């Protein structure tokens, strides 16, 4: 199966630090077009395109712009969420390192739409080695007058500042990210007010994922009609998938939305390593559902994956073969969440730790079926009462694994020997 | 070490002077705290109470704010750390590709456990959440360099280069 490289069209073909090469490849044409449009027209174009956020939630991008467009105030901000922390995801790293100007272009277009003049890129600390690339690309973009003052003689000013994280998954949550840029602990805020009204520094803010912004550029370069020819009705466009785990060929691949998960695993990635069989797939990262081998004949678009109880999220596909144990994987997920909970709200802080203790108990052969009930109760409480997405999604891998791998839970409760968990000890 | 001792160790005054110079550029701009601490980390590997005090004084913010900020983020620490911080990714994509063997190799080679620092203060071993190099797992990060597709043999080779001081 051939990849459809739209966002990755320049990967390995241009010098990412040199905006002139991006321009020679047709880059910044979308911004030039948007400079001749007013805010309403730009937002209309995105509405027709049907672009939905690529960070995980799949929220319509034009609506975010609409909120900030309609909000009163002279100072507004565009924020690029480059705090790619979801375990198993590194597609934003590929975009940031191979074609950063396409992200700047999307930010500038969004800025033009809502009349914002400053954009921030919040880059996770684990990607600090990308800073020189981004700084060089910003500099050459300014030299080409695609950023800075009076862009292309239009009278519109827009510039971008880099801000760094320091290791906190929760900062991928939008309001936590704002707090972090403001020099505080990255703890999510209560909402409302929503970012479109009161975001960064209390000003109306549009926050988008790296991949979403790169999509804005191609929509304005090629028009919404063209964009609609890719992907599915409800999820137009392409998607970057990070495939990792026990497949022969791992990597970041770009396909139109709606590709079949089974084809992605077997045809694109070559299936399992020799002598092993597929055990499970987790889509959407640590906060995604874990499905079994019989469920992988699935269409990958935002709504279809949601309907099956999981989430497409940021497009992560973690493939696990028969050398793994689901209880061990869920325990690993929960260990992650209990460590990354910011501690602000009780359901997430205490619930995550309790879930981890319960799953550990089961993994050690000391659990009972009552523990599964407790886990389900607790997970549901967290889903309903936690402050932000982190606490809401902690439950997803747990609940989906109970549903799809119930016999595995029973085997551990029955004290059957598990080679993976018995080695874990503790 | 008690919690108090962890925070109250001594930082040489020459380093405090350098840190004061950085922090003073952002007086009255609390939103630049992240930038200040990241630059400070190029001078010291951890934030003692005296470092936090200098930053607070020069930026004109409360010292408790500096402390609360540093203790929130995984890559910042009040506890003293080695010159080289080896971060082992703890997330599932590395876990399913043999992270455990990498950890064992690192602990055996450096004679310390995860979370500890070698006696000569050169190496600290830490777990960290996803490094975002999942399609080349298992992966580690040593200061700001990444090493991927590791095996116990290759990770020993990598760390030996640091032991021998062959890395700039």
B24 min Cα distance to partner chain A (Å)? 16
B positions 64-93 inside 8 Å of A (CB): 68-69, 72-76, 90-93
Q: How confident is the model at residue A57 (pLDDT cuts 50, 70, 90)?
A: confident
pLDDT at A177: 98
pLDDT at A307: 82
- C-alpha–C-alpha distance, residues A347 and A353, integer Å: 10
CB A278 within 8 A of CB A255: no
* Torsion angles phi and psi, residue A180, rounded to 5: -65, -40
Q: What residues in B contact A251, CB-CB < 8 Å? A: 135
Inter-chain contact B135–A332, Cβ cutoff 8 Å?
no
Q: How confident is the model at residue A311 (pLDDT cuts 50, 70, 90)?
A: confident
Kindly report the number of other CB atoms within 10 A of residue A192's CB atom: 8
Q: What residues in A contact B30, CB-CB < 8 Å? A: 182-183
Of B33, B69, B129, the CB nearest to A340: B129
Which residue of B lies nearest to A244 if distances are taken between CA atoms? B135
pLDDT at A56: 84
pLDDT at B6: 82
- C-alpha–C-alpha distance, residues B81 and A108, integer Å: 41
Inter-chain contact B135–A180, Cβ cutoff 8 Å?
no
* Torsion angles phi and psi, residue A254, rounded to 5: -115, 125
Query: A324-378: per-residue pLDDT in tens?
Result: 999 999 999 999 999 999 999 999 999 999 999 999 999 999 999 999 999 999 9
Q: What residues in A contact B88, CB-CB < 8 Å? A: none
Would you state the structure tokens that stand for residue B124, as one six-digit string? 């600290």
Q: Is B115 exposed, middle or buried (0-12, 13-18, 19+ CB in 10 A)?
A: exposed
**What mean pLDDT do residues A297-314 have?**
87
Would you state the structure tokens that stand for residue B128, as one six-digit string? 């960290």
A253, β-bridge pairs: A241
The C-alpha torsion from A60 through A65 and A67 to A71, rounded to 10°, is: 180
Query: A381-405: per-residue pLDDT in tens?
Result: 999 999 999 999 999 999 999 999 9
DSSP A48-84: HHT-B-SSSS--BHHHHHHHHHHS--S--EEEEEE--
Inter-chain contact B129–A167, Cβ cutoff 8 Å?
yes
A325 min Cα distance to partner chain B (Å)? 10
Of A80, A98, A77, A250, whose CA–CA distance to A163 is shortest?
Answer: A80
CB A116 within 8 A of CB A196: no
- C-alpha–C-alpha distance, residues A79 and A124, integer Å: 14
Percent of chain A with pLDDT over 70: 99
A426 min Cα distance to partner chain B (Å)? 14
CB A331 within 8 A of CB A363: yes
Q: What residues in A contact B37, CB-CB < 8 Å? A: 166
* Torsion angles phi and psi, residue A245, rounded to 5: 100, -145
B148 min Cα distance to partner chain A (Å)? 13
The mean predicted confidence, pLDDT, of chain A is 96
pLDDT at B4 over 80: no
Interhelix angle for A369-385 vs A346-363, to 10°?
160
**What mean pLDDT do residues A302-330 have?**
91
Kindly report the number of other CB atoms within 10 A of residue A410's CB atom: 14
* A8 φψ region: left (φ > 0), alpha (ψ -120 to 50), beta (else): alpha
CB B137 within 8 A of CB B152: no
pLDDT at A226 over 60: yes
Give me the long-range contacts of A329-332 (CB less than 8 A, separation at least 24): A329/A280, A329/A282, A329/A290, A329/A397, A329/A401, A329/B92, A329/B95, A329/B96, A330/A290, A330/A359, A330/A397, A330/A398, A330/A401, A331/A356, A331/A359, A331/A360, A331/A363, A331/A424, A332/B90, A332/B91, A332/B92, A332/B95
Please tell me what DSSP assigns to residue A171: G
Is A425 in CB contact (< 8 Å) with chain B?
A: no
**What mean pLDDT do residues A105-131 have?**
97
Cα–Cα distance list, B136 to A51, A129, B111, B150, B158 (Å): 30, 17, 27, 9, 16
Which residue of B lies nearest to A339 if distances are taken between CA atoms? B129
pLDDT at A4 over 70: yes
**What mean pLDDT do residues A121-135 have?**
97
**Mutant choice from B132, B138, B141, B145 vs A, greatest count of A C-beta within 10 A:** B132
Which run of H or of E encompasses B128? Answer: strand B123-128
Of A119, A203, A209, whose CA–CA distance to A172 is shortest?
Answer: A209
A positions 279-308 inside 8 Å of B (CB): 282, 286
pLDDT at B1 over 80: no
Is the model's pTM score more than 0.80?
A: yes
- C-alpha–C-alpha distance, residues A217 and A45, integer Å: 12
Is A133 in CB contact (< 8 Å) with chain B?
A: no
**Mutant choice from A121, A125, A163 vs B, greatest count of B C-beta within 10 A:** A125
* A252 φψ region: left (φ > 0), alpha (ψ -120 to 50), beta (else): beta
Of B32, B75, B100, the CB nearest to A125: B75
- C-alpha–C-alpha distance, residues B154 and B168, integer Å: 19
Of B50, B46, B109, B104, whose CA–CA distance to B79 is shortest?
Answer: B46
Determine the 3-state secondary structure of A328 from DSSP: helix
Inter-chain contact A166–B34, Cβ cutoff 8 Å?
yes
Please tell me what DSSP assigns to residue A336: H
Query: B18-62: per-residue pLDDT in tens?
Result: 999 999 999 999 999 999 999 999 999 999 999 999 999 999 999
Return the beta strands (E) in A109-217 as ranges.
118-123, 159-164, 205-209
Inter-chain contact B72–A186, Cβ cutoff 8 Å?
yes
Would you state the structure tokens that stand for residue B40, as one six-digit string? 């400070």
Inter-chain contact B130–A89, Cβ cutoff 8 Å?
yes
Query: A165-214: per-residue pLDDT in tens?
Result: 999 999 999 999 999 999 999 999 999 999 999 999 999 999 999 999 99
Of A90, A185, A324, the CB nearest to B72: A185
* Torsion angles phi and psi, residue A312, rounded to 5: -70, -35
Query: A237-255: per-residue pLDDT in tens?
Result: 999 999 999 999 999 999 9
ipTM of the complex: 0.95
Of B82, B72, B130, whose CA–CA distance to B106 is shortest?
Answer: B82
**Which sign, positive or negative, has the C-alpha torsion A344, A345, A348, A350?**
positive
Which residue of B lies nearest to A320 if distances are taken between CA atoms? B96
Please tell me what DSSP assigns to residue A158: B
Query: B87-122: per-residue pLDDT in tens?
Result: 999 999 999 999 999 999 999 999 999 999 999 999
pLDDT at B101: 96
* Torsion angles phi and psi, residue A261, rounded to 5: -60, -40
Contacts of residue A141, Cβ cutoff 8 Å, sequence gap at least 6: A19, A28, A101, A104, A147
pLDDT at A304: 87
A20 min Cα distance to partner chain B (Å)? 29
Q: How many CA atoms lie within 13 A of A224 on its CB side?
A: 14
Q: How confident is the model at residue B3 (pLDDT cuts 50, 70, 90)?
A: low
Of A244, A242, A417, whose CA–CA distance to A325 is shortest?
Answer: A417
A positions 218-257 inside 8 Å of B (CB): 242-246, 250-252
């Amino acid at each position: 199966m051939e990849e459809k490289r739209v966002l990755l069209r320049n990967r390995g073909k241009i010098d990412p630090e040199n905006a002139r090469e991006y321009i020679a490849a047709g880059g910044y044409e979308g911004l030039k077009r948007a400079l001749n449009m007013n805010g309403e027209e730009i937002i209309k174009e995105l509405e027709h395109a049907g672009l939905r956020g690529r960070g995980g939630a799949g929220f319509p991008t034009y609506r975010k712009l609409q909120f900030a467009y309609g909000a009163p105030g002279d100072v507004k901000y565009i924020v690029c969420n480059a705090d790619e922390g979801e375990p198993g995801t590194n597609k934003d790293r590929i975009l940031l390192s191979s074609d950063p100007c396409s992200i700047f272009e999307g930010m500038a277009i969004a800025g033009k739409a809502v009349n914002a003049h400053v954009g921030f890129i919040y880059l996770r600390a684990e990607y600090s080695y990308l800073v020189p690339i981004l700084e060089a690309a910003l500099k050459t973009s300014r030299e080409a007058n695609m950023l800075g003052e009076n862009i292309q003689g239009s009278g519109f000013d827009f510039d971008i500042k880099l801000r760094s994280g320091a290791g906190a998954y929760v900062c991928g949550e939008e309001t936590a990210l704002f707090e972090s840029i403001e020099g505080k602990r990255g703890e999510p805020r209560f909402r409302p007010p929503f970012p479109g009204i009161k975001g960064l520094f209390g000003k109306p803010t549009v926050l988008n994922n790296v991949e979403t912004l790169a999509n804005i550029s191609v929509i304005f370069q090629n028009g919404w009609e063209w964009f609609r020819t890719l992907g599915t009705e409800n999820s137009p466009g392409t998607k970057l998938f990070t495939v990792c785990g026990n497949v022969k060929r791992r990597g970041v691949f770009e396909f139109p939305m709606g590709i079949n998960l089974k084809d992605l695993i077997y045809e694109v990635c070559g299936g399992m390593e020799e002598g092993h069989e597929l055990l499970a797939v987790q889509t959407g990262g640590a906060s995604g559902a874990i499905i079994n081998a019989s469920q992988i004949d699935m269409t990958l678009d935002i709504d279809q994956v949601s309907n099956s109880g999981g989430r497409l999220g940021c497009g992560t596909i973690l493939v696990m073969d028969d050398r793994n144990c689901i209880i061990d994987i869920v325990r690993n997920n929960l260990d992650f969440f209990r460590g990354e909970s910011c501690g602000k709200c009780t359901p997430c802080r205490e619930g995550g730790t309790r879930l981890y203790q319960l799953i550990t108990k089961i993994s050690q052969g000391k659990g009972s079926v009552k523990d599964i009930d407790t886990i389900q109760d607790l997970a549901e409480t967290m889903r309903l009462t936690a402050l932000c997405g982190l606490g809401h999604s902690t439950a997803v891998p747990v609940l989906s694994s109970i549903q799809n791998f119930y016999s595995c839970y029973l085997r551990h409760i029955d004290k059957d020997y598990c080679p993976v968990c018995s080695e874990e000890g503790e | 070490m008690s919690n108090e001792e962890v925070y109250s160790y001594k930082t040489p005054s020459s380093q405090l002077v350098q840190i004061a110079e950085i922090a003073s550029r952002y007086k009255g701009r609390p939103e630049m705290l992240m930038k200040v601490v990241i630059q400070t980390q190029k001078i010291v590997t951890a934030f003692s109470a005296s470092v936090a005090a200098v930053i607070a004084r020069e930026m004109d913010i409360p010292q408790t704010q500096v402390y609360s900020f540093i203790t929130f983020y995984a890559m910042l620490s009040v506890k003293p750390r080695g010159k080289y911080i080896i971060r082992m990714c703890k997330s599932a994509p590395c876990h399913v590709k043999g992270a455990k063997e990498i950890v064992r190799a690192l602990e055996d080679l450096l004679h310390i456990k995860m979370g500890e620092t070698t006696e000569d203060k050169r190496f600290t071993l830490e777990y960290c959440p996803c490094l975002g190099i999942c399609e080349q797992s298992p992966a580690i990060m040593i200061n700001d360099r990444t090493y991927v597709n590791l095996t116990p043999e290759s990770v020993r080779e990598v760390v030996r280069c640091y032991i021998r001081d062959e890395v700039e």
